[in-house]
Structure 1
Amino acid sequence: MAHVMNAAIEMALEQASRTDAFQNLPGAGQPLEFLSRPSDAVIDRIMKENQAKPLAVGLKQQLTQASAQLQNMSDARERKEQMRLIADLQTRLGLELEAMQKYG
């Protein structure tokens, strides 16, 4: 489920990006330490070599595609079925994100 501040945060980031506020930041181009733990190096390498993505990323992509398809549908029955699919994807994505936060 989206946080109520997501829209405001995205707007602030877009504004900062448009005004080049992200230029010449300290550490630019360096890996983020909290994302590069030695214990995860093997898993990261295997995922990159096999072009694997976390489940949450795949679910988010499916959700984006399903939402775009819904916009082009006019048949009420098809729209209802598509909305069911979107609700299912949103639920699965929420559960996956919650599991990631809880278990890593």
Structure 2
Amino acid sequence: MWWFWLGGVVVLLSAGLTTGWVLTRRRTELRSRVRWTQALTAVETAQISRDAAGPQPDTDALLARAEELITHHGGVSAATTVLELAGEADRRYRAGTQR
């Protein structure tokens, strides 16, 4: 009869571990999708600012780097880098200055 209880424990542990893994995976995927959405929005905003400000070679290079990283579509860290690059490019376009 002890094998019955052992089997029950194994089933319950497996279910608990699987549930934890699934929830962690969903949270990670959601975080990645949200960060990429923010990054793409930042790039679009910087593109609009570029169109309004005109060409600025150094700032154009920042925006081009952000657009290049989009094509590789990495994880959360890549999206964060794209967000930072696009944000900096947008600030420079808005200020009308180059660094």
Range class of TM-score, shorter chain: 0.3 to 0.5
Q: What is the TM-score when the length of structure 2 is the normalising length?
A: 0.40
**Which structure carries more relative contact order (alpha carbon 8 Å, separation 6+)?**
2
Greater fraction helix: 2
Q: What is the TM-score when the length of structure 1 is the normalising length?
A: 0.39
